[in-house]
Structure 1
């Protein structure tokens, strides 16, 4: 399917690995110009080389989106180079396994919200004026099923991701009449470095639960998040939905919450 992304400028945060990287690669494969933003210069350069090796075009910006100064700097650089922004994918995020509510410090609460909520808020604040000037655009925020299914091991992360849902709907309500759509994509258990990489959530949870990594992964998808599909999600599963939502084909979709979770939520 042609997503009509040719020459569209799509900024993707957290793009050095996992869902962000897969999204950037797919946008490029569809003829778009992904702008990859992340902290790891080496990983960004490898992703850029892969895109260009396949005949695509990409830009990279090494930056920490949890730094309040980063969003304005990144968006200004993109506008200077391309003159516009067609879409923003707020994908950057992270979580740490917790032992319980009483053990989460104020510092941890603030850091979790800064990365998983305020970074997306600031990036959106920086990008929206440019979108308004060019006549519209698309915002896609990567949430989490934890927002609807919080657990004792991730209360701070769940609360931050729930706030992201409210932010997206508020942005859609205000700016959709002016041509800017805002939607959330909600991953369920997905095999990304965030989960199964070194010191990822699986290893952290295994330590908290007093078990091994594989047993922790099984517990997540059998006991905590029973998946109807019978398998973990992949970065590509999410990237395909995100790429569609930033494309002109999704022009009638805004203020929506798209679950890509293997049926974990099963809401009516």
Structure 2
């Protein structure tokens, strides 16, 4: 039994090291006091973070990424919740096929989706830019939003909605004050995860934008000349945004009443 526990501990440690060691190395050399991000480590210094913050092009890219992430995440979360609510509350012919159609983009390469949308935009003579990238990000994150929201819609909620309807509540009031109130942790989690995916997405954004640069595109442009501490600092700032979203959700979720949790 002890040998089995030791084996499991070793496998777990190796797995965690495989996941987090690159991030630790990236973070360490973001404080490196030198142009070449190679050992030996010199520092620490915060000058590369200040260089990133003073770069107007990176600031513009951060604003574009933030707008793109918020808008696409809000749309995909809203559509995902409505799709999950509709398929969970009403019997429709071919509802299994509809669920599969909503989840299908999750199994398709983002490169294929991006190229398909690029051909579509060119065929319809529509301009490329942030709106086109927003459409691609909605296609990318909608299956995830749908899956998360669908897991929170339970038969118990159906009985509560029927009871509220018997007491005279309108359908809109039931949806706004009861259903969304019970599902809000899943809705918020869906938004946070969709924003994280949109914040980091490169392939489709690169294909569908022309002059609207985002953070991943900026990092790619900086890395064309090789790795440097400024690139590492920008990468850690992107990672920090994802961590902030994660801990914000965890804080709000665990402070919410037990009855509101999915």
Report the structure number with the largest CA radius of gyration.
Answer: 2
In terms of fraction of residues, the more strand-rich structure is 1
* Structure with the larger helix share: 2
TM-score (norm 2): 0.28
Q: TM-score, normalised by structure 1?
A: 0.27
Which has the higher relative contact order, 1 or 2, with Cα contacts under 8 A spaced 6 or more apart?
2
